[in-house]
Amino acid sequence: MNKALAKIKQFFGYQDLTRDTRPIVTMILFAIPLVITAFANNGMSLLNSIVLKHTVGGDSVTAINQTSSLSSLILQFGFGCTSGFGIVIANLHGAKNYEGVKKAIVSSMLACVVIWLVLGAIGIASLRSLLNALHVNELYYEKAYLYFAVVLSCYIFNLLSNLSGHILRALGNSFVVLFTTIFTLSCQVGVCFLLTSKSIGNLDTVGAGLAIMVASLLNVIISFAIIFKKYKPNKESFKFDKTIYKDLFRLGVPIGFQWSILFIGSFVVASQVNLYGVYASKGMAVYTSWEGIAVNSVMGALGTMMVNFVGQNYGAKKYDRVKRGIRDGYIIVLCVYALILAITLPTTKLVPYIYLPYDEVNERVSFYATTYLYITLTASLFQGILTVSRGALQGIKKPLFPFISGIGELIARISVSLLIPYLVDQNYKVTLSDQSYIGLSFSNASAWLVSMLVMGGAVFFMILNNKSFGKETDIIKE
């Protein structure tokens, strides 16, 4: 009985991803709460959209979703940096350098404050210009502006919340992230209802932005209380350590730029879709949210699984285990891809009714939403392979190829979104033909394919097929 309780406690606590068990078993156990967390996160966002649909209407939901590409363009740099910070902590934790872990945690928090001051100022100063470049319809413009201005102002809480998740996963604890996510996002839904309901707060999209701030702040307080319980900072933790900061920025900044570069393409695609009119904007509001739930959440969780597994084992110098884990990671991706297709494709036509009031869903909205989803869901295997490959390369402190593949993904996404509609219909900006929109909808799939080929090839030649992996001085050197 005591042994069983000990195993349960270990399962829900900090896991050593370097222990001598089959990599696929270790990764699945670690990934389960990651996937659930991702679904919970997106599920709560979905519930939030449903609340907003009833409290403020479909136009406000569309206005909020119009800012998703702005969020990706501006905020993802910070989120990418925190991902890189987590890799440094995973390496230190795997190497059993616990004092280094404490210093890295404190240094990461201070770096987040600097990132917020810079990005917040740039974002607020350029917000109207970006909304204009995005071709946001005047029906949604002010609602979108007010919502995103609140998000930018309170970005520090969102950034630290994101950092805490990366730290906990780097330490091998993905269950705490699950529990804090469910709790804080449940609070967000409740606060959102109170602030946006016309009979109570009546703050419309501003209320939705403030609800995000409340949830993020709660997550920061709870998560860092748990982190500091295990790794309590001391005076040494706050001393400037050139090596720690060098590692943090050497990994964090390239990944941050990589994430921002990736989403410049999304910004361009969104501006192209908005040219097709109000119904296309509503369709985009639907498919971006559903893509996040059905594809990005689970594939992103697998990427997080891989970066932490490889990060810990690379830090522990278990190079053969790194290789076995990468191969097993690809097997997991194939299985997940089959589940995605089996579950989502038959139900895609019903998705618009989740996000929009019944009377706002018509044939055109359904066409714009489902056309994109059918193509993207079918191509999600590419994203799964590229996220696992990216996680493997980042885990061994090699951010260059992910950065290069990000540029390739950007070029592919922009090229397809601008070129294919023109080749299909040279006058598409006037005719707004369905055929040109179908061509535009291949932008994400094409970008994933290019990135998969670059990063998959890099993983094969640098790690899987490299007999000297782990022996070369440029790989071992920290």
pLDDT in tens, 232-280: 888 888 888 888 888 888 888 877 877 777 677 777 888 888 889 889 8
Confidence band (pLDDT; 50, 70, 90) for 297? confident
Run of H or E including 165: helix 155-170
C-alpha span between 350 and 362 (Å, rounded): 12
Of residues 8 and 372, which shows the higher confidence score? 372
**Helices 204-230, 23-55: inter-axial angle, 10-degree rounding:** 150
Place of tokens 């987040």: 112
419 Cβ partners below 8 Å, 6+ apart? none
Q: Is the pTM of this model over 0.95?
A: no
Residue 44 has pLDDT above 80, yes or no: no
Of residues 228 and 255, which shows the higher confidence score? 228
Question: Tokens at residue 147, please?
Answer: 């919502």
Question: Residue 304's Cα: distance from chain center in Å?
Answer: 10
Average pLDDT over residues 126-145: 87
* Whole-number pLDDT of residue 334: 95
* Whole-number pLDDT of residue 79: 87
Residue 110 has pLDDT above 70, yes or no: yes
SS3 442: coil
Answer for the pair 383, 448: CB distance below 8 angstroms, yes or no: yes
Residue 9 has pLDDT above 50, yes or no: no
Residue 461 has pLDDT above 60, yes or no: yes
> What is the maximum span of the chain, computed from C-alpha positions, in angstroms?
73
Of residues 413 and 30, which shows the higher confidence score? 413
229 Cβ partners below 8 Å, 6+ apart? none
Percent of the chain surpassing pLDDT 90 = 26
* Whole-number pLDDT of residue 478: 36
Question: Tokens at residue 57, please?
Answer: 């209407």
C-alpha span between 418 and 422 (Å, rounded): 7
Distances (CA, A) of 454 to 381, 391, 404, 467: 15, 13, 8, 20
* Whole-number pLDDT of residue 134: 81
